Structure 1
Amino acid sequence: MKQKGIPYGIQFELARTLASNPDSMSKFQNLISNLPQDRTPTHSYLFSQIFSVSSLRNLSTHEVASIAPWKELDKEGEAFAKDPLYAGIGNNEEYPGWWAGNIVFVGKLEETGEKIVLEKATLGPSNKIQRRFGSACILRVKIPSKRLFAKQNDLVLFFKRPVVIWNHVFRAFFAKDNTVFLFKTNEILLDKQISLNPSSHIDDGLSLYEFIKWLNPLEYNSHQKLCKWASRFALGLSSSIPGPRLKQEEITYESDIILDASDPSSNMTDGCGISSLALHKVIYETYRERLQLSEVSTAIQFRLAGAKGMVLLANYDKVEDLQVVLRSSQIKICYSSVLLDPSHLTMDILRFSHTKTPAKLSEEVIKNLHHNGVPASVFIGLLQQRLQQVVDGLTAWEGPDAMPKLWKAVEAAEGVIGARKARVSPTDSRVRGYGSHEDDEDDEEGIKHETSSQPWWADPFSGCPSSIAETVMELLDSGFTPLNSPYLRDKLKQCVKTKIKTAAAKFNYVLMQSCSAFAVPDPFGVLGPDQIYFKNSRREFVNKDGMKTDIILGEVLITRNPCKVPSDVRKVTAVQHPALAKMVDVVVCSVQGHRRLIDYCGGGDFDGDRLLVIWDESFVKPFANADEKYSKAPAGIESCFAMDKEVVAQFCSGMHKMGDQVEGGLQDHLLSSLRDPRYVGDYSRFHENAVYEYGYAHWRSINLAYKFCLVLDSAKTGYRIKSETYLSDRKLYSHPLGPSYKITEKKASISSNDLPLQRGEGLPKFIMDSLHIEAAKQRDYWLIEVDNRFSNAPLNLHPDPDLVFPWQNFCNEAGERGEKAIVNDLNVISDHVEAMYKQRVETYVNPASGSFTSQPITVRQDKIRDLSQRFISFPGPRNLKTLMEPTAVARLRASYAYIYAIRRGGPAAQFPFDRAFRELCAIKAQADGRYKVCLQSMNEYRK
C-alpha cells in the first residue's frame, strides 16, 4: 500500500472492512494493484474505486457531506504536504478559515477477549492535538460498560500494549470515562517486530515519550503530583476551534486575588483571566458568519500555552493590542520560556459566553430547594403548569395564525431547529451551542462498504423526516392541518403524548424565571459580599408581570452542578452597577467576603462553571440559606482515602533505572482512571439512598456527598477511596432497587422479591415521592384529556381533494381521449404502487427480523429508504409509452398511492406519506396557489 501511496484514511477503512471479511483480501489486493499510476491517490478517488458504494444511495447528499471524511482528509493531506508541522493549527494564510483535526477515528473493544472493532471514520469536532498532528494521529477506543465496570478489570495492562493497524503503531496516553485515547507514534510494525520508522521524514511523527514532552513536559512540571500531571492531557483533547495565534509577549501573567493562602476557597479569581477588546474583536470578526455570532463575547472558555479556564473582556482601553492576562490558578502545564510551539500560542476556543433562558431544575436542585424551604406545592404547580402549556400549545388549532403558532409550539417542544443545526455542523456544534444527537452503532457485514444512514435525517427519496416533530412541522409547512389531515393529526397526537410521558417521567422542570450562564469574578471589585450582576444581551428575562427585561435585580438563588448538600444553593442579591454595564451573558460574582462566592455552590470556580440563577419569587421568598458548615468537608473525611503523593520529580529521579520501561511507567498514571471507575456511580447512588433513608442534612448524607466529590476528582487529586471504607459504605447504603421513585418501568417489570428502599421513620414525606405520585396522576389525566381533545375536535375524514386530483383528473382526461396507451401507462403506475404496498407490509411484519419498531433506528431507516428508493425508481420512461416527464410520473404515483391507501383504510394511511412525502406536500402546497419553493438545505439553516 505504501508503494501505491494509499493514504491512512483508506488504510483504516480497508482494515475495518477486512476485519469482518478476511476472505476479501485478494479482491482488495487486485483492486489496489490495478489502480492507474498517473492518478493522484486521494481519499475521495480511492474510496470510489476500492469500495462498493451502492449503499450510499440510502443517504442524502447533505447526510453524506455531514459525515463523510474523505474530502476533509484530502485537504489535510494537501496542507500537511506543504507544511508538515503547523499547516493544520489554524491561522493558515493559504487555507483561510480552515484547520485540521476534523475527522474522528474510533474503535470499540469487545466485551470479552482482546479484539478492537473499528468503526467508520466520520467528521467530528477538532482538538489541539489533532490540529497539530492531523486527524489520523488519534485513535479513540470505546470500552463497553460491562467491561469497564467489571471487578478487577485488566484494562490498564491491556492498553499499555501497542495497538497496530497495518504497520501503524498506536500507544495509549489518556483515558476518560469509557474512552481510551491512543497516539500514532513514529514506530512501525516490520517483520512482526515494532521498531522506529527507519525513514527520516519530518512527518513520521513522534514517539510516545516525545509526544508527552511536547504536550506536558515532565521537566517543567516536576513540582506537580503525578496524578494531576496525568490529568492535564485532557487539555489537548478538548473539543475546540482555533482562535488567534499570539506572540509570547502578548501573554502576561498576574497573581490571583487570594485572601488566605491556606484556604483554597479564598481564591476570589480562581480560573478566570483578563483579555483585551482587540482580542475579542478579532475572534468575533473571524467567526461572526460561521458561528452566527451576534456580538463580541464578554467571556470565552479557552486553552492557551498550558492554561485553561475563562478570559473576561475587562480591558477596554488597549483597543489595538491583543492581550491575555493569565492568572496563576489557570496555569496547568508549564513550558520552557524560550520559543514555544506555535500550536501552544494558538488560543483554543471551547465556548463563547451566552445566556440560556429559561433553564431547567434538576432532581438534585429540587431536593435542595425543598429542604431549604420551598414548598412541595410550588414544584407540583410547576409540573402542572408545564404539562398544561405543552398540551394547550399543541392542541390550539383554530383562530388567527393558529397553524404558525402550532408550528412554533412543536418546534419548541422538541428543539427541532437545534437538532437540525447540530446534524449539519458535526465539527463545531459544541462551540456553536447546538444540541447533540445520539449516534447509533452500525453493523458492518459483507464485502461492500455499507454506509448506514444517520439517525434523524430525512429520507432522501420520499422526503419524509425521521422524527415525528419534523414530520408534523413539514406537513404544516405545506398546508395540511390537524383539521383536514388524519395523517397529520395522528402524528401530532403521538408527539403530544410522547411529550407528556417524557415531561412526567423526568424530574427536570422548565422554570421560566430562571437562566444559566458562565460565572466570572468582578474585575473591578465594585460588588459587595453576596452580590451578583447579571445582564442579558437581549431582553429575554421574564418578570413576575410577564414583561421581559435584560437585567435581573433583587434577591435570587444561585447554584451549579453538582448540587449535593444544603449549602449548594445560595440566596444572594442581584444588583446594577455602571462599571459592569458592558458585561453581558455572564454572571458576575463579588470578590468581597471571606471566600469565593461560587465556592458555596459545590466548590465551584471560574474556569467554565455555569451558574443557574432563579428569580421566581415563589422559590426565592421561602428559601433560607443553609448553615455554612455544610459547605465544608466533614472533619476526618480524608482518612477514608489513601493519598497518591508521588510527584513528577520523584518519577524522573528513577527514570534512569527504568530503561525502556519509562513509557509504560508513565502509562500506569496516564490510564489510572480505568481502575475501579465504578466508584463514582456507586457513591452517587449511596448518597441518594442515604438522603432518602436518613434525611438530606443528616451527617451520613453529608459524609457521602463529600466522598462522592473526592471520588469524582480522584484522577487529578490522588485521593483513592480505601477498600475497607468502600466495603463498609456499600454494606450500609447499597440497595438493589433504591427509592421507589427511582425505579423505572423496565426495572419494575423484572420479577423480584426485593422491596424499594424505605423512608426513615419520623422524616417528612420526601419531595421526589410527592412529585413522582403527582407526575403519574398528571400524566394519566393529560393523556385522557388529549384523547378527548383530539376526539372532539372536528376532522374532515373525506379524501383530500387536492391529493386525489392529479390522478383522478388525468384518468378522466385519458378516458375522454380513449387512448389505450395512456390507460396502460396508468395501469403500470398503479400496479407498481400496489406492489410496493405489499412489500411494505412484508418488511414491517416480517417475523424473521422481529418487531420492526424494536430494531435500531439506523436499521429501520435503511430498510425504509430501500423501499422508498424502489418506489420512486419505477416506472421510468422505458417502461411507459406516453408519459415521459419524470415529474408528472412522480405526481401521479404519489396521488395514486394516496387513493390506494384510502381504499384499503386502517394502517395503510401512512403508506403514501412514507413513500412520497415530498411529492404529496408539493401537491398540497401547489393546490393552495400561495406557495414558495425552498431547497431542503436552505430550510435546515432557518430559525
Structure 2
Amino acid sequence: MGSEGNMKKSVVTQVSIGGFGESTTAKQLTDYLEDEVGIVWRCRLKTSWTPPGSYPNFEIADTSNIPSIDEYKKVEPHAFVHFAVFESAGRAMDAAGQCNLILDGQPLKVSLGPKNPYSLNQRRRTTVPYKLAGITLEIGTLVSRDDFFVSWRAEGVDFLVDPFDNTCKFCFRKSTAFSFKDAVMHAVINCDYKLELLVRDIQTVRQYKTLHGFVLILQLASSPRVWYRTADDDIYDTVPGDLLDDDDPWIRTTDFTQVGAIGRCHSYRVLISPRYENKLRTALDYFRMRRVQEERVRWPPRIRNEPCFGEPVSDHFFCIHHKEGISFEIMFLVNSVLHRGVFNQFQLTERFFDLLRNQPKDVNIASLKHLCTYKRPVFDAYKRLKLVQEWIQKNPKLLGSHEQSEDISEIRRLVITPTRAYCLPPEVELSNRVLRRYKAVAERFLRVTFMDESMQTINSNVLSYFVAPIVKDLTSSSFSQKTYVFKRVKSILTDGFKLCGRKYSFLAFSANQLRDRSAWFFAEDGKTRVSDIKTWMGKFKDKNVAKCAARMGLCFSSTYATVDVMPHEVDTEVPDIERNGYVFSDGIGTITPDLADEVMEKLKLDVHYSPCAYQIRYAGFKGVVARWPSKSDGIRLALRDSMKKFFSKHTILEICSWTRFQPGFLNRQIITLLSVLGVPDEIFWDMQESMLYKLNRILDDTDVAFEVLTASCAEQGNTAAIMLSAGFKPKTEPHLRGMLSSVRIAQLWGLREKSRIFVTSGRWLMGCLDEAGILEHGQCFIQVSKPSIENCFSKHGSRFKETKTDLEVVKGYVAIAKNPCLHPGDVRILEAVDVPQLHHMYDCLIFPQKGDRPHTNEASGSDLDGDLYFVAWDQKLIPPNRKSYPAMHYDAAEEKSLGRAVNHQVNIYFPTFFLLAEMMTLKIKWTSDSSITL
C-alpha cells in the first residue's frame, strides 16, 4: 500500500485547503503557501455553495429584478490549490499533518486532490483537453441540409474536446436563482455550467468556414449531461494558460433553458475563432480516430431562429399529444420516431398526418415501427413515410401476425432522462397477473424507466451530491442533498404526467423493475382507476414502505398462467419448520404429481423430464412448490405461512420458473472466495484455458462445437446441436456458423466481463427442502440430468420423447454458493449423499431440515423461495480442508414502521429505493475487486 500511495502523490499537484478565516483572500493564501511550501499556479478560494434545502429555479431567466436574500447557511471557506510540482503538494500535506501551516493564527487543513488511482492521475496529467475558448454556441435543429433553426444561443462559451474521458464539454457562467421551500425570496448566485456529451453520441460532424471563422455542426444521438456548481469564487492565477479542473464537485441538473433546447434539439452549431485553427484541426483528427462520421458541406446552411424562438415550453417530454383522427397507438409511434431524431417537429405537417389518416392502422403501425429502426435523421418526413407505407403494402407479411398468446403482452415503454423523455415502440414481453386481468385496457399500462442521458443507468451522483471532502474534514459532518433531477423524478412519481392525450399515474413496481429503475403507470379511462386495480390486487397491510412496495410488486412478476386451483384444493396452513429463530422451510411448499403434470401441459414444455419444482405466485403466496407424493386427501397444493405475503382472492397458479438443466459457471465473486478458502489459482487458470481452447475451436471442430452446445448452452443451443448431429458443417452452412459465432462471442464476453468459467461438474440448481426429514445437517441430495442430444429432439414428435432416463446422483463433497456472495462463509461445503426416497427430485438442490441453522441462511442469508445455487462437485474446486468457513450472521435490520398502513408513500420512496439498490451493487463490485485474505 505504501508504494501505491507514493505513486499517487507523484502525479497529484492539486490539494484542497481549509481552516483559514473568512476574510482571507486567494492572493493572501497564495503568498503564504509560496513562502512556506512552493510555487502556486492557481488558487481558487470558495465561499459559495448550493444553499441547503434549495433548488435552482430555471423558470427565472432574468435574476436582476427578483427579490433575493443572502441570509442562508454558508459553506466553510476552502480553497483548491494547484502547485507547480508534485513535491509541493506532498510538502503541504506533511506540513499540515504536523500542524506547521499556521495562517493568521489558524492551523490549515490539507487534503490531497483527486482520489483516482495512479494510472488515471498519470493519464489525466498527460492527456490535456483541446480547449477552444470564447466560442458561440447555438443549439437547434437541422431542419434540412440547407436550413438550421436556432432554439437557444450563448456567447463566450468554452468548448473542450477531452480525449481523457472521450467527451466534449461546453462550459460557461450564468447567474442562477435558487428557490427555497415555502419562501418568496430567492438566493441569486453565479454558477458555472457544463454540458457534457460522449464522443460516441456524435452521429455526424459538419465543418465549414465563414468570413468570421470556422463552424462545426454536431448532430447528436442523445442529449448531453448538464452540470453546475456555484462560482462566486476568488481566483488568483500566477501563470497564463489552462490548468486541469479543480476538485470542486459538479452537481447534476436538468435543462436550464426555458425553451427546452437541451432536451428537445439534437444539433449543436459551434462558431470558432480563426485563432484556434490548429487546435480545431487536432480535435477533428481526434474525431476521425474515434470514427465519428464527417459530412462534407457544399454550402453553409441558412441560419434562422425557430418559429417560437424564446417562448417557454410547458411540456418537458416534448411530445405531439393529439391530432384529430389519429389514434393513441399511432401518435405514440409518431413520438417514438420524433424522439429518436429520425424526424424533427418542423417536418410533421398536416400533409404528413393526412398520410396516416388515409392508411389502415396496421399499415401505419408497421411503417412507423420500421422508421424507428433508422439510425440517422431523415429530412423529408412526408416522402419517406409514403415510401415506407407503399413498401409495407407490397409486402403484407411485414404487417405481422395478430395472434398472440395470453401469456404475452405488447408493452409500451417511456424512458425519462434528466432533460427529456423517449417513447419506445411496443415490445412483446411475458405478461403478468394484472395485465391478464385488465386485458381490455392493457394498452393503457405504461412501463416508465428512469435513465441517465445516452440510455445509461441513473446512479446516486445524478440524484444526490455531497460537498467537497475538505468541507467534511472542516465540519466533521457530511450530508447529501438531493439534486434537481431527484425533484423531477419525484414530481413525475407523485403528480403523474400527460402523454399523447392521456394522464398517467403511478401504479407499482416489481423487484426486478426496481433494479432497472422502472415502474408501472396507468392512464385512467373513467371506468378503470388506479385505486380499482390496487383493490383487486389484494390487501396490503404492511406498515413498512419497502415491504409494502415489494408485496405489491409481486402482482407484476412476469409469469405464465396455468391451472385454476380452487381454494378447497389448497392447504394454506402447513406449519413451517422453525428452530433457534430460523425458518428451515422459508418459502417452500409442495405440489401433487397430477397437478404438476397439468402445469407442465399448460406450459407446453419441450423437456425430456417433467420439472420437479416450480417457482410460483398463487393468490398472495410466493415461493417454490416441489413435486411430492399426494396424501389422497384432495389437497393438491400445500403452502406454508412463510410463503404468504398478502391477502388475495386470485386462484390461478402462476409460474415464474421451473427446475431444468442449467450449466454451471463460476463468476468473479465465487472465484474470489474459493481462492481465499485455499483453492489454488492454477485451477481457475487451467479451467479458463480449456474453455478458451474449445471456444476457439468451435467453428472448425464439429465435435468440440457439439460438446460446447450440449454441455454449456442449455436449450439455447438445441437448434445448432440438431444441425450438427444432422451433418451440417459450420464452414458450409452460414446459419449454423452464425449461431456458433454468437455462442462464442457471448461466452467470451461473459469470461472477460464476469469471469464466467464453465464448470463441467457443476450446475445452477433451485433450492428445495427434504420434506421426508432424512438428510442430516451438513448433507444434501443432488440428482442432475445429463446433457443429451435426445432432449433437443423432444419437440419434434412423440417418438423422440420415449428415451432412456439419463440422471446422475452426485456423491461426495460439494461446494455451494448463492449470488451475491461477499463473505468466505457464504461458500458452504456439504456432503452429497444418495437417498432413494428423494430419487423423484432432480435438477434441484435438496437441503436438510435438521440442524441448528439452515444451510440456505448460511449461504448469503438466502431462503427457498426460488433462489438458485451454484453447485460444484469437481473435487479440484473443493477447499483442501473440506470444511466450511464460519458463516456470517444475516440478521434482518429493524423495520421502519409508519404506525399505519402504507398508502401513497410507495411512489415517494421509489427513487430512494433504487439508490439503495445501487449501493448494494457497488458493495458487490467493491468486494469483487478487492483482495480478501483470511
- Measured in 1, the distance between the counterparts of 2:908 and 2:335 equals 29
- Measured in 2, the distance between the counterparts of 1:494 and 1:212 equals 43
After superposition, what is the alpha-carbon deviation per residue over 1:886-937, rounded to whole angstroms, capped at 9, x for unaligned? xxxxxxxxxxxxxxxxxxxxxxxxxxxxxxxxxxxxxxxxxxxxxxxxxxxx
Local SS of the residue matching 2:880? coil
Are 2:314 and 1:314 aligned?
A: no
| Among 597, 603, 614, the residue aligned to 1:281 | 597
Are 2:500 and 1:166 aligned?
A: yes
| Among 771, 775, 778, the residue aligned to 1:527 | 775
- Measured in 2, the distance between the counterparts of 1:294 and 1:474 equals 18
Q: Is the 8 A contact 2:860 2:890 kept in 1?
A: no
| Among 103, 110, 115, the residue aligned to 2:410 | 103
Local SS of the residue matching 1:24? coil
Are 2:329 and 1:9 aligned?
A: yes
- Please name the residue that 2:639 is paired with: 326
After TM superposition, the structure 1 = structure 2 runs for residues 625-664 of structure 1, keeping only pairs within 5 Å, are 625-628=883-886, 630-633=887-890, 645-647=896-898, 650-651=900-901, 663=904
Change (3 A) 1:535 1:233: same
- Please name the residue that 2:402 is paired with: 71
Task: Give the Å deviation of 1:513.
Answer: 1.0
Are 2:424 and 1:119 aligned?
A: yes
Task: Give the Å deviation of 1:503.
Answer: 4.3
Task: Give the Å deviation of 1:391.
Answer: 3.9
Q: Is the 8 A contact 1:411 1:473 kept in 2?
A: no
Are 2:603 and 1:353 aligned?
A: no
Structure 2 residue identity aligned to 1:71: H
Task: Give the Å deviation of 1:362.
Answer: 0.9
Are 2:724 and 1:405 aligned?
A: no
- Compare relative contact order (CA 8 Å, sep 6+) and give the higher one, 1 or 2: 1
- Measured in 2, the distance between the counterparts of 1:281 and 1:186 equals 40
Local SS of the residue matching 1:603? coil
After TM superposition, the structure 1 = structure 2 runs for residues 815-826 of structure 1, keeping only pairs within 5 Å, are none
- Measured in 1, the distance between the counterparts of 2:785 and 2:622 equals 25
Q: Normalized against structure 2, the TM-score is what?
A: 0.52
Q: Is the 8 A contact 1:256 1:270 kept in 2?
A: no
Local SS of the residue matching 2:683? helix
Local SS of the residue matching 2:563? strand
Task: Give the Å deviation of 1:231.
Answer: 1.5
After superposition, what is the alpha-carbon deviation per residue over 1:432-474, rounded to whole angstroms, capped at 9, x for unaligned? xxxxxxxxxxxxxxxxxxxxxxxxxxxxxxxxxxxxx99x989
- Please name the residue that 2:528 is paired with: 205
| Among 810, 823, 844, the residue aligned to 1:552 | 810
- Please name the residue that 2:557 is paired with: 238
Q: Is the 8 A contact 2:710 2:788 kept in 1?
A: no
After TM superposition, the structure 1 = structure 2 runs for residues 822-837 of structure 1, keeping only pairs within 5 Å, are none
After superposition, what is the alpha-carbon deviation per residue over 1:742-794, rounded to whole angstroms, capped at 9, x for unaligned? xxxxxxxxxxxxxxxxxxxxxxxxxxxxxxxxxxxxxxxxxxxxxxxxxxxxx
Local SS of the residue matching 1:282? helix
- Measured in 2, the distance between the counterparts of 1:411 and 1:61 equals 40
- Measured in 2, the distance between the counterparts of 1:408 and 1:12 equals 45
Task: Give the Å deviation of 1:186.
Answer: 2.2
Local SS of the residue matching 1:102? strand
- Please name the residue that 2:578 is paired with: 259
- Please name the residue that 1:620 is paired with: 878
- Measured in 2, the distance between the counterparts of 1:324 and 1:497 equals 43
- Please name the residue that 2:819 is paired with: 561
Task: Give the Å deviation of 1:377.
Answer: 2.3
After superposition, what is the alpha-carbon deviation per residue over 1:29-86, rounded to whole angstroms, capped at 9, x for unaligned? 5346557xxxxx7x53663699948559999999988xx78725xx7xxxxxxxxxxx
- Measured in 1, the distance between the counterparts of 2:532 and 2:689 equals 60
- Measured in 1, the distance between the counterparts of 2:727 and 2:836 equals 47
After superposition, what is the alpha-carbon deviation per residue over 1:804-824, rounded to whole angstroms, capped at 9, x for unaligned? xxxxxxxxxxxxxxxxxxxxx
- Please name the residue that 2:7 is paired with: none
- Measured in 1, the distance between the counterparts of 2:579 and 2:518 equals 39
Task: Give the Å deviation of 1:130.
Answer: 1.4
Q: Normalized against structure 1, the TM-score is what?
A: 0.51
Local SS of the residue matching 1:508? coil
Task: Give the Å deviation of 1:351.
Answer: 0.9
Q: Is the 8 A contact 2:574 2:638 kept in 1?
A: no
Structure 2 residue identity aligned to 1:614: A
Q: Is the 8 A contact 1:69 1:123 kept in 2?
A: no
Task: Give the Å deviation of 1:229.
Answer: 0.8
- Please name the residue that 1:186 is paired with: 524
Coordinate RMSD, CA, aligned: 4.4
Q: Is the 8 A contact 1:242 1:347 kept in 2?
A: yes
5+ long unaligned stretches in structure 2: 1-320, 370-384, 465-481, 790-804
Task: Give the Å deviation of 1:2.
Answer: 11
Q: Is the 8 A contact 2:661 2:714 kept in 1?
A: no
- Measured in 1, the distance between the counterparts of 2:737 and 2:611 equals 43
After superposition, what is the alpha-carbon deviation per residue over 1:602-625, rounded to whole angstroms, capped at 9, x for unaligned? 111100011222111222261543
- Please name the residue that 1:380 is paired with: 685
Change (3 A) 1:47 1:683: closer
- Measured in 2, the distance between the counterparts of 1:209 and 1:101 equals 25
5+ long unaligned stretches in structure 1: 36-40, 76-97, 188-196, 198-203, 397-403, 422-468, 542-546, 653-661, 698-943
Task: Give the Å deviation of 1:309.
Answer: 0.9
Change (3 A) 1:272 1:162: same
Give the paired residue count: 546
Are 2:348 and 1:24 aligned?
A: yes
- Please name the residue that 1:249 is paired with: 568
Identity rate, percent = 18
- Measured in 2, the distance between the counterparts of 1:570 and 1:57 equals 63
Q: Is the 8 A contact 1:374 1:623 kept in 2?
A: no
After superposition, what is the alpha-carbon deviation per residue over 1:324-360, rounded to whole angstroms, capped at 9, x for unaligned? 111111111124xxxx3xxx21111111111323x11
After TM superposition, the structure 1 = structure 2 runs for residues 268-667 of structure 1, keeping only pairs within 5 Å, are 268-288=584-604, 291-318=605-632, 321=634, 323-335=636-648, 340=649, 344-357=650-663, 359-392=664-697, 394-396=699-701, 404-405=702-703, 408=706, 418=716, 477=728, 480=731, 503=751, 506-538=754-786, 550-620=808-878, 622-628=880-886, 630-633=887-890, 645-647=896-898, 650-651=900-901, 663=904, 665-667=905-907
Change (3 A) 1:269 1:502: closer
After TM superposition, the structure 1 = structure 2 runs for residues 136-155 of structure 1, keeping only pairs within 5 Å, are 136-142=443-449, 143-144=451-452, 145=456, 147-149=458-460, 150=462, 151=464, 152=482, 153-154=486-487, 155=489
Q: Is the 8 A contact 2:571 2:639 kept in 1?
A: yes
Task: Give the Å deviation of 1:235.
Answer: 0.9
- Measured in 2, the distance between the counterparts of 1:587 and 1:106 equals 38
Structure 2 residue identity aligned to 1:645: K
Task: Give the Å deviation of 1:4.
Answer: 9.2
Structure 1 residue identity aligned to 2:414: G
Structure 1 residue identity aligned to 2:593: L
Local SS of the residue matching 2:864? coil
Structure 2 residue identity aligned to 1:554: G
Local SS of the residue matching 1:118? strand
Task: Give the Å deviation of 1:539.
Answer: 7.0
Structure number with higher helix proportion: 1
Local SS of the residue matching 1:535? strand
Task: Give the Å deviation of 1:277.
Answer: 1.8
Local SS of the residue matching 1:583? coil
- Measured in 2, the distance between the counterparts of 1:520 and 1:62 equals 52
